[in-house]
Structure 1
Amino acid sequence: MPRLATVALLLAAPLFVASASAAPESKRGNADLKKYCTRDMLKFCGDIDPDSKEMDACFTKNRAELSENCRRAITAYEAAGSK
């Protein structure tokens, strides 16, 4: 779980998905992670506070099930030093 915990926390900001429902807000943000991982966050972890350790655990637990684009965004984020 190198930086996946941090990645999970960066996902939620006021974004809208196809159903027009907003993702929970987070105190952090990364445009690519939000763009490519919001649906995964809502699907696997939607009922969890985005700033909690439970969100980190949820993303870690479901990593293999995340969409390809989300996994790529996480990999790029980690390679950039989580900035």
Structure 2
Amino acid sequence: MSVRFRLGLVLAAAVASAAVAAPMTDEEKDVLQQQCAGDFTSFCAGLPPEDGPETQACFQKNMSKLSPGCQNAIQAYKKKG
């Protein structure tokens, strides 16, 4: 499994846990991955890029520090639901 794919799963899980919404489309996952990959690396670099409780907790803990692009992508997904 590639790091890019696993990072996408982490981001999808983090957003899904932030709000109950419809399942993510591949396009939504791509947007989140593009907008949030740097934030994940900056705030959660010591964690494996897989969907685990520690990674999800790190992403949630740092939500207010995320880049505007990442925050906008997450908000757009939340509004969809």
Bucket of the pairwise TM-score, normalised by the shorter protein = 0.5 to 0.7
Q: What does residue 21 of structure 2 align with?
A: none
- Give the alignment's TM-score, normalised by structure 2: 0.63
Residue 56 of structure 2 aligns to a residue whose secondary structure is helix
Q: What does residue 37 of structure 2 align with?
A: 38
Distance in 1, matches of 2:80 and 2:3, equals 21
Q: Which runs of 5+ in 2 are unaligned?
A: 13-28
Q: What does residue 71 of structure 2 align with?
A: 71
- Give the alignment's TM-score, normalised by structure 1: 0.62
CA RMSD of superposed structures (Å): 2.1
| Greater helix share, structure number | 2
Q: Which runs of 5+ in 1 are unaligned?
A: 1-11, 15-24
Q: What does residue 3 of structure 1 align with?
A: none
- State, as a whole percentage, how many aligned pairs show the same letter: 33
Q: Which has the higher contact order (CA 8 A, sep 6+)?
A: 2
The Cα shift of 1:51 comes to 0.8
The Cα shift of 1:13 comes to 4.8
Superposed counterparts of 1:1-83, under 5 Å:
13-14=3-4, 25-26=5-6, 28=9, 30-49=29-48, 50-81=50-81
After superposing on structure 2, the runs of 4+ consecutive aligned residues of structure 1 that deviate more than 2 Å are none
